[in-house]
Amino acid sequence: MNRYPLWKNLLVLIVLMVATVYAMPNLFGDDPAVQISAGRTATVDLDLVNQAETALKDAGIELKGAELGEDKLLIRLTSPGEQLRAKDILSQTFPEDFIIALNLAPTTPSWLASLGAEPMNLGLDLRGGVHFLMEVDMDAAVKQALESYASDLRLSLRDEKIRYKQIKTDMQQLIVVFRNEADRDAAASLISREMDALQVENSEDTTDPALVMQLTEVNLRETKNLALQQNITTLRNRINELGVAEPTVQQQGENRIVVQLPGVQDTAQAKKILGATATLEFRLVDFESDVQDAVNGRVPPNSELFYHRDGRPYLLNKRVMLTGEHVINAQSTLDPQSGSPAVSVTLDGKGARAFSNVTRDNIGNPMAVVFIESKTETREVNGELVKVRRQVPEIINVATIRDQLSKKFQITGLDSTNEARDLALLLRAGALAAPIEIVEERTVGPSLGQDNIDQGFASVMIGFAFVLVFMLLWYRVFGFVANLALASNLIFIVALLSMLQATLTLPGIAGIVLTVGMAVDANVLIFERIREELRIGNSPQSSISAGYGKAFSTIADANITTLIAAIVLFGFGTGSIKGFAVTLSLGILTSMFTAIMGTRAVINLIYGKQHKPKLSI
């Protein structure tokens, strides 16, 4: 009556063996390590291994080993102190096109690694590092989109010979002022025909005929979403340049981004690189207009007034020749003629073609390189502190175009090698689509992370021990079987987290502790049902069968409702809430298997062959 077919027993045994294998890597710990990754032009090879080992041995640093992988070298050290020393030495030894990062290298045996078994990742609260919550300025993203449409509109109106007085962006609107109604109506027809992303209306707020344009609802949402996704991509690129191992960059809500950098303790450098919104613009100098008139307030309609970093004013064309988004590589270097800091820039195909055409047609004319940085200031407005973003543009270089430029060229006029290095990093990583502001910042030290691990492990073990003692005293042999299932359940959870390469956080440990109690709850329902069947006079074998059969629906209902709640938490929660939901969901699924099928298999092996066994329950 209470016997499993052979395949069911084998299934339980095989699943337990596989789970044990994939949970084992978490027992071996990590080595402090330094990782050397290749940049865009560098390569990691055996020569690099020899150079690194020689540099570290000369400094008296003992190595545990060096592993050469695809485009990276992992050097294992004996202690965290030696790890920090090694990073400083390697940063001085190798040029900028190598990325030197602190890391933790798992000490998993090779036979386990060959099976694809890896330890689970640890979250920021367990490993230590920096947490940033960043807010994207969506108004700025919309304004940039409208300015792009304004630039295209100027060209279209000029091609169609439609006269206008002024094109400007105001808040979330694009306003075009015309000399007469005929030009306004012709422009409205042109815009409706060629720019379907804009809603066009006649303006009644100006003395001259005008059109007011706004992005349609669909394009407004798309513009904001693209800005958010581009910022996420750019932040990931910048983090890669910083050389942070296992970073987390994810969306939170409609306009926020969560960035977690495990192992990073230098918050100032991280904030400087991640929060920088600097980009470059290349513009032709308007040498035909009077600069002094512009300084006095009479700026020509097709030009803008900028200042060089030394204070000299320049009039530049509104039309931008090239922006930083077309840069695919940038390296800090020295100008061979002057010996001053410079940045060597390489453009993509589209940027190279456009730059080549413009410089070909303007040989002999001056060109300016404009460095634009977005800054956030806190001001008091009507007694309240308000954060105001403003752009700070400055010309860093003005030079005469001597030849037709194309894919590669240099930017000079920089103040220091540090500025050249930071500018090269920002250009390689790409420009942010919209300014971002750090609205929350937290730093978790490595010692606090280890304390969290120790306390979390202790909480699991204490809860586990109390449950083991209670089940053993209250249900005797059946309690012992339930304890075996509970231990197996923990192995399954750890194995699944490792196989999925999920990140374990402190709330995730809370989910495991909760699962320990919930896992044994199913066995309590089954065992109490068996006792009830025995009290009404049923035979031991039929009581076991009825206990598992009749309690199943109750167990399923309770676990399914909890699983639904966990799925909702994962779907709508963020950060640590997701970590809790993941471990809770996995724990529910594994506990259903161990509490029902696993314990039934063991009980069947103990009592299944006996005709009238005396149940110890």
What pLDDT, in 10s, does the model give residues 227-279? 888 788 778 877 766 666 567 888 888 889 988 887 665 566 677 667 665 56
CA 320/CA 284 separation, integer angstroms: 8
Q: Which CATH number fits domain 138-220: 3.30.70, 2.120.10, 3.30.1360, 2.60.40?
A: 3.30.1360
Q: Where are the domain boundaries for CATH 3.30.1360.200 in the chain? A: 276-433
- What is 30-106's CATH number? 3.30.70.260
On the 0-12 / 13-18 / 19+ scale of CB atoms within 10 A, 147 is middle
pLDDT under 70 in the chain at which residues?
Answer: 1, 38-42, 70, 95-97, 240-246, 263-269, 272-273, 275-279, 374-381, 383, 385-390, 413-415, 418-419, 422-423, 425-431, 444-450, 574-576
**Edge-first strand listing for the sheet containing 166-170:** 166-170, 173-177, 210-215, 198-202
CA 374/CA 392 separation, integer angstroms: 6
Nearest alpha carbon to residue 35 among 87, 84, 113? 87
Residue reference for tokens 């490993």: 127
What pLDDT score was predicted for residue 98? 75
What pLDDT score was predicted for residue 19? 92
Tens digit of each residue's pLDDT (9 = 90 or more) over 85-132 = 888 888 888 765 677 777 778 888 888 888 888 888 777 777 777 888
Helix 540-572 to helix 506-535 angle (10° resolution) is 160
Query: What single DSSP character describes residue 24?
Result: G
Strands 121-122 and 503-504, sheet pairing: parallel
Count of alpha carbons within 13 Å of 17, Cβ hemisphere only?
6
Helix 446-499 to helix 6-23 angle (10° resolution) is 150
Whether the CB-CB separation of 300 and 163 falls below 8 Å is answered with no
Q: Assign 469 to helix, strand or coil.
A: helix
Helix 576-592 to helix 540-572 angle (10° resolution) is 160
Residue reference for tokens 């003629």: 337
What pLDDT score was predicted for residue 575? 63
Q: Per CATH, is 6-25+445-607 categorized as 3.40.30.10?
A: no
Whether the CB-CB separation of 105 and 118 falls below 8 Å is answered with no
In Å, what is the CA distance from 381 to each residue of 385, 388, 462?
6, 10, 55
Nearest alpha carbon to residue 50 among 31, 40, 39, 36? 36
Overall fold of domain 276-433: Gyrase A; domain 2 (3.30.1360)
CA 409/CA 82 separation, integer angstroms: 41
Q: Where are the domain boundaries for CATH 3.30.70.260 in the chain? A: 30-106
Q: Where are the domain boundaries for CATH 1.20.1640.10 in the chain? A: 6-25+445-607
Q: Give 353's contacts (C-beta < 8 A, 6+ positions apart).
A: none
